[in-house]
Amino acid sequence: MQVRNLILTEVFCCAAALSVAAVPVREVWGVSMPEVVRGDNKELRLNGMGLRKEKALFKVYVVALYLEHPTTDAQAAITTDEEKRIVISMLRDLSREQFVQAVDAAIMRNSSADMPILRARLDLLENALPAPRRGNVLSFTYLPGVGTLMRGQGQELTIPGKDFADALLSVWLGPKPIGVALKRQLLAGTGGLSHQYCLVLRFSSFAVVQGVAGLLLVTGR
C-alpha cells in the first residue's frame, strides 16, 4: 500500500511539473490581466491598467487598456483605427444610474462639441448598460469598420462609428479624464509595470493514467 501511495504521489508531481505554463500577467488590487489576449480579430497587448477611485476613498473598479500597438501617447491610443479594448473589473456594487451618470459626464467633459451627433448612440449604450456588481467584468472592444462591441453580464451590443469609440476612450484617456492618475497608469505601455508570472497548472488525466499504469507494471503492484 505504501508503494502504491508513493507511486501515485510521484506520478502526480511529474504530471504537474510537465504541464506548468508561465503566463505573464499584471495585477492591480487583486485583479490580474494577461499581457496578451486574442481580440475578436487581432492579438492585443496590455498597454496599462489602474484603479478607479471615487472621492479618493472608495475603490470602484480596475480598468485595463489593450491595444494592437502599445503606446504612451493618449491621442495615438484614441485615434488609431485599430482594434482596441477596455476591460472593467468591478470592485464594488454600483447602481445602473451611478454608472451611467459617470460615463455620460465624462463623455460630456471631453466631447461636448460632438454631443449632438453622439447623443442617440450614447443613449443606446446607456440603456443597455447593466447595473454593475462586485466581480462583474464589462468590456468595450472597438473593431475597425464595425464599431464598439459592449459585452457584460450576458449582454452584447454593437454601437457603430469610430467617433463614438473615440468619445468612449476619452472617458479614461481624454484631456479631462475620469482620473488623471488612472490615465497615466493606462498609458504605461508594455514596460510601465514589472511583469508577474502566474503559474497555471494543467493536468492531463490521460498522462497520469499512463504513468500510473506503467509504474504499476514495473513494480508488479
Q: What is the pLDDT of residues 132-156, one digit of tens each?
A: 999 999 999 999 999 999 998 888 9
Q: Roughly how many angstroms between the first and final C-alpha of the chain, as a whole number?
A: 9
Residue 28: band (very low, low, confident or very high) from pLDDT cuts 50, 70, 90: confident
pLDDT value at position 15? 44
Residue 16, pLDDT score: 43
89, 86, 85, 87: which is closest to 40 by C-alpha?
Answer: 85
pLDDT at 56: 59
DSSP H or E segment with residue 90: strand 84-90
- Please say if the pLDDT value at position 22 is more than 70: no
Say how far apart CA 51 and CA 88 lie, in whole Å.
10
- H-helix or E-strand spanning residue 163: helix 162-173
CATH number for region 26-198: 3.50.70.10
Give the Cα separation of 27 and 101 in Å (integer). 28
pTM: 0.76
What tens digit of pLDDT does each residue of 31-75 get? 989 999 988 888 999 999 999 987 656 889 999 999 999 999 999
Mean pLDDT, the chain, as a whole number? 80
Quick check: 66 and 39 in contact, CB under 8 A?
yes
- Whether 88 shows a pLDDT value over 80: the answer reads yes
Three-state DSSP class for residue 47: strand
Say what the pLDDT of residue 199 is.
37
Note the pLDDT of residue 39.
Answer: 80
Query: Measuring CA to CA, which residue among 217, 107, 97, 212 is closest to residue 159?
Result: 107
Q: At what angle do helices 2-18 and 205-219 cross, to 10 degrees?
A: 140
Q: Which of the listed ranges 129-133, 180-184, 215-219 does the model predict with the highest average pLDDT?
A: 180-184
213: pLDDT strictly greater than 70: no
Q: Cβ contacts of residue 41 below 8 Å, gap of 6+?
A: 83, 143
Cβ neighbourhood burial of 85 (10 Å; 0-12, 13-18, 19+): buried
166, 172, 146: which is closest to 157 by C-alpha? 146
